[in-house]
Structure 1
């Protein structure tokens, strides 16, 4: 059941998304060679709580058998695709790290992801990150009333594959509202003809995960971290958007 949000509800989601975006601004200066991921997590948690929001990821389970997620942010380094641990690892020159932040503010959820380049990265690594950033924007641009959900994935897939990259298939975007994960599921691959027809008031998280190598994935023993099966690099960007008759609006901006 896809719930369409009223203008008032969209403003609640925008307020939550704004705190997510402000949290990124708070932590971005410390994401550089030598920083320990756990320290980034601590700063993000302090900022979120200071602004009257609550964290969403810490303690969450997607499956009953999973151990509770230990961090406030997800921190996925290099070949890690998503759900990486903000642990005692130290970022190194040339790394990339995807930081995913989720929170709830006055009952509404905010969720976004950015991939950061650590110091100077190789040109092919920078190109991967830029392709993932652009793929997200391509998906946002076609989030229009009358298009099917599948148009988002088909557009992302066509763009990424035209650049020589692959798109992760098992994980995708989602609806969002008072809960972090709501209908519909938003695939990042085609066909364009599948899924519900988008309508004004539909709020979606689009979050393409783009790999240098093959799209196949595997989950590590920690029960959370998803990485590329072939060990190649992966990059991800995510925004919360609302579909409107005047075009899509990004809700996860400062």
Structure 2
């Protein structure tokens, strides 16, 4: 396994790319309202990335082996869509939940992050799923330190999520990131403590759990990209890009509008 350890120069570039990716989510948030189409959200984000930030939308025309080129600049996964939802003409309506996944390239480095948005009020069940998924991501992030393992990260997420009756999607995972969109290692959101890759200072990877309100089984849609829950249950995902530091972690995908770690509030209370 060829894991690229980042040096000071790489880390500074990744901080910039991460902040810019997060700022796209700050920008698009107010536009996530009933009546807007995901295609319109894609165009707004594309124009902001290209014309305002001078960044490259990494998903556009991205084509890993076996896939046709991805046709849009962002991923928009609505309700029972788990990930890689392709923006289209369908309008959002009150009560929908949507994950918007942003990856930008700046000076050759990738910043990758996603957030959940609720259109209007949202049901109690939908809000709860989004909140628990957010907390599960942070619980995984909090395991990151030199000497810990990726199994520690996955186990913490899995135990927390399943404790609330949610299932963890297993076919998609976090990943190393840097000058390439997807690098080693793969970051599973389930597992056993003490197993898997040992973390060392300078690793950078995403933690991006996908939790389903129902069963974990998935289905791929005919577009070859959009992944949905097989039982049509709601799904939520949050994502940050994380650096392993000398004594813990640093979240790189942070901007003025980034939602705070909810666990810090509960620990302080």
TM range (shorter): over 0.9
Give the whole-Å Cα distance in 2 for the aligned partners of 1:24 and 1:246: 29
CA deviation profile, 1:130-162 (whole Å, cap 9, x unmatched): 001001100000011101111111000000011
Give the whole-Å Cα distance in 2 for the aligned partners of 1:247 and 1:144: 4
Give the whole-Å Cα distance in 2 for the aligned partners of 1:46 and 1:194: 43
Please state how far the C-alpha of 1:122 moved relative to its aligned partner. 0.8
2:229 corresponding residue in structure 1: 228
Give the whole-Å Cα distance in 2 for the aligned partners of 1:33 and 1:98: 15
1:82 corresponding residue in structure 2: 83
> TM-score by structure 1 length?
0.98
Aligned pairs for 1:214-225 within 5 A: 214-225=215-226
Query: How many positions carry a matched residue from both structures?
Result: 253
Aligned pairs for 1:56-67 within 5 A: 56-64=58-66, 66-67=67-68
Aligned pairs for 1:115-194 within 5 A: 115-194=116-195
Instruction: Find the residue that maps to 1:102 and give its secondary structure.
Output: strand
Give the whole-Å Cα distance in 2 for the aligned partners of 1:31 and 1:111: 19
What RMSD, in angstroms, separates the aligned Cα atoms of the two structures? 0.9
Please state how far the C-alpha of 1:164 moved relative to its aligned partner. 1.1
Q: Please, which runs of 5 or more residues in structure 2 have no aligned partner?
A: 256-269
Structure 1's consecutive aligned runs of 4 or more residues displaced over 3 angstroms after TM superposition are none
CA deviation profile, 1:13-60 (whole Å, cap 9, x unmatched): 010011101111111000011111111101111111121211110111
Instruction: Find the residue that maps to 1:178 and give its secondary structure.
Output: coil
Instruction: Find the residue that maps to 2:144 and give its secondary structure.
Output: coil
2:35 corresponding residue in structure 1: 34
> TM-score by structure 2 length?
0.92
Give the whole-Å Cα distance in 1 for the aligned partners of 2:245 and 2:30: 34
Instruction: Find the residue that maps to 2:105 and give its secondary structure.
Output: strand
Give the whole-Å Cα distance in 1 for the aligned partners of 2:130 and 2:78: 13
Instruction: Find the residue that maps to 2:72 and give its secondary structure.
Output: coil
Of residues 52, 55, 79, the one that matches 1:53 is: 55
Asked if structure 1 preserves the Cα contact closer than 8 Å seen for 2:74 and 2:103, the reply is yes
